[in-house]
Amino acid sequence: MEQYQLFIGGKWVEAQSGDRTESIDPYTNEAWASVPVGNETDVDLAVKAARDAFEKGPWCTMSQSQRGRLLINLAGIIEKNIDRLAQIESRDNGKLIRETHTHLKSLVDYYIYFGGLADKVHGDVIPLSKTSVLNYTLREPIGVVGAITPWNSPLLLSTWKAAPALATGNTIVIKPSSTTPCSILEFAKLVEEAGFPPGVFNVVIGPGSRIGNYLAKHPGVDKISFTGGTETGKQLAEIAAKDVKRITLELGGKSPNIVFEDANIDNAVMGAMAGIFAACGQTCSAGSRLLLQRSIYDEFLDRLVERTNRIKMGNPIDWATELGPLANRTQLEKVQYYVDVAQQEGAKVLLGGKRPEDEELNKGLFYLPTILTNVDNKMRVAREEIFGPVLSVIPFDTEEEAIAIANDSDFGLVAGVWTNNIYRGHRMAKAIRSGTVWINTFRNANYASPFGGYKQSGYGRENGIDVIKDYTQVKSVWVETDEQMRDPFVVG
Ligand code: NAD
């Protein structure tokens, strides 16, 4: 069994309590790694290490280009470890190797992009009406970032936080999900090898409701960056509000994937599959509501069912596998719960709706790809995030109706639009209230393009140049160049 330790202040350490837990491989349903369980003292130590690194150097005295250079070094080291890390993450959370491998390759680009950006972050000289004053701004790091991440894509989503946070001179304490802690601990070994000073990057593991909460409240943490469920996000927003901490929230979704009769149907079928069966539906950007124009409803579903029936379920480490297990037992139970609720509310199971009967698959946490019809947008299954391979299909007649159904949601993370009509595509992009709209594609993300939510899908953005604003603050500096002192009783 693999043995892991916490990474605090540049050292590998046991949890202060000495407690350990096991990480379960969702394919075998067996423990494969032993991980320390941190408590409040471990968080105190990690935050202190991050504070010291932020305030006392060498990190805080490095030039921006030196810090950028470290991120680019890290990118090179990641590149040599793609296969190993992808295997570990697939083992820890059951995600397909073809997806974790792609994530790992993209991490190289993320660290190069943000490493390159590090020395391009600067303030401005501002022309004022008062010409004797030199006014300039400094764009400065916020301080210690407490990053709390979910189990579905631990390394990718930690990178969305760590790369911009470090590129702008902050330090970070990451608390990954306790159900998938291993890949980020492996990743910390690469950070160490890249030569980051001790305390710049720390990882603590432990239950979210206890140590995630404690980290967010910690007076030594200046900014919370959270990716996870909306209910947890709301609690963290309250914590941040109490102490006026900066916070970025990347939360859940119930995203529409809208297919018009004028779409390329073959591509749209693939897009519907990408939306809900890729990553076993365990993605914030799942296209879990499929809105089909009524004129193509039957034909589209026939084709979707035919292709879904050919999905290859199996070991996520096998490159041919298309659908792996759910990441943990709670999630498996949640999926079944929602399928049951949907049926009680009048939905029909067109496909799936249960666990596979195959004996081999049944050892793992598998659930059949599921398509529900007769779904009304008012049903819970169309309103609440399931985070599993469950697709709710909703018909519509007109473009206006599609927009109304798409926007009738508490969430607004992503949306897909399938049409060959360029006018309609752009009209839809404008009308839909979500942070991302994909036209004739689905499930794209890139280091250079902003990602984040409208409505209860969160606030703040990750990726792209704009994210720099979320990890920096602006100081305005005024320098009087006129030796004559101004009237002290008038604001100037
Ligand atoms: P979760 O909210 O249960 O947990 C996320 C993280 O928060 C974990 O590290 C957990 O330990 C910690 N946590 C739990 N309770 C906490 C508390 N009271 N205080 C502080 N930390 C706490 O979410 P999850 O089940 O791990 O992940 C699934 C959710 O993440 C889904 O809702 C999904 O949509 C969302 N997600 C969003 C994005 C995005 O970019 N918008 C990406 C991936 C996942």
CA 328–ligand 1 middle distance (angstroms): 14
**Domains detected in the chain:** 2-251+457-477 (3.40.605.10), 256-439 (3.40.309.10)
Ligand 1 centroid distance, CA of 388 (Å): 15
Three-state SS letters, 63-114: CHHHHHHHHHHHHHHHHHCHHHHHHHHHHHHCCCHHHHHHHHHHHHHHHHHH
Check pLDDT > 90 for residue 360. Answer: no
Give me the pLDDT at residue 486, please.
86
40 is catalytic: no
Q: Which residues, at least 6 apart from 459, have a Cβ–Cβ distance to it below 8 Å? A: 248, 249, 452, 453
Atom from ligand 1 closest to the CA of residue 457: 41
* Cα–Cα distance measured from residue 37 to residue 17, given in angstroms and rounded to the nearest whole number: 8
Question: Whose Cα sits closest to atom 14 in ligand 1?
Answer: 208
Q: Is the pLDDT of residue 492 over 80?
A: no
Residue ID of nearest Cα to ligand 1 atom 31: 229
pLDDT for residue 444: 95
Q: Whose CA is closest to atom 34 on ligand 1?
A: 252
Average pLDDT estimate for 246-255: 97
Handedness of CA 137, 138, 141, 142 (dihedral sign): negative
Residues 6+ apart with CB under 8 A from 271: 257, 259, 287, 416, 418, 440, 441, 442
Structure-block tokens of residue 457 = 């899908």
Residue 128 half-sphere exposure toward CB, CA atoms < 13 A: 16
Known catalytic membership, residue 462: no
> For residue 453, how far is its CA from the centre of ligand 1 (angstroms)?
15
CA–CA separation, 447 vs 111, rounded Å? 9
Percentage of residues of the chain with pLDDT beyond 90: 96
Distance of CA 93 from the midpoint of ligand 1 (Å)? 14
What CA–CA distances, in Å, run from 43 to 97, 400, 410, 451? 32, 51, 34, 29
Residue 236 to residue 249: CA distance in whole angstroms? 9
Ligand 1 pocket test: pick from 103, 227, 385 the residue with the most ligand atoms within 8 Å of its Cβ: 227
Q: Quick one: average pLDDT of 444-455? A: 97
pLDDT, tens only, 40-51: 999 999 999 999
Pocket test for ligand 1, best of 37, 93, 148 (most atoms within 8 A of CB): 148
Nearest CA to 284 among 407, 456, 114? Answer: 456
Angle between helices 97-117 and 82-93 (to 10 degrees): 120
Mean pLDDT, residues 17-21 taken together: 96
89, 99, 250, 385: which one is catalytic? 250
For residue 150, the CA-to-ligand 1 centroid distance in Å is 4
* Ligand 1 centre distance from Cα of residue 10 (Å): 26
pTM: 0.96
pLDDT in tens, 392-424: 999 999 999 999 999 999 999 999 999 999 999
Q: Which long-range contacts (CB under 8 A, 24 or more apart) does 132-135 make?
A: 132/480, 132/481, 132/482, 133/478, 133/479, 133/480, 133/481, 134/478, 134/479, 134/481, 135/476, 135/477, 135/478, 135/479
Report the distance separating Cα 118 and Cα 433, nearest Å. Answer: 32
Beta strand residue intervals within 176-288, DSSP E: 201-203, 223-227, 246-250, 256-259
Lining residues, ligand 1, CB within 6 Å: 148-152, 157, 175-178, 208-209, 212-213, 216, 227-229, 232, 235-236, 250-253, 284, 385, 387, 413, 458
Q: Which of 99, 182, 284, 385 is catalytic?
A: 284
- By residue count, the chain amounts to 492
Collapsing DSSP to helix, strand or coil, 201 comes out as strand
The ligand 1 atom at the shortest distance from the C-alpha of residue 453 is 41
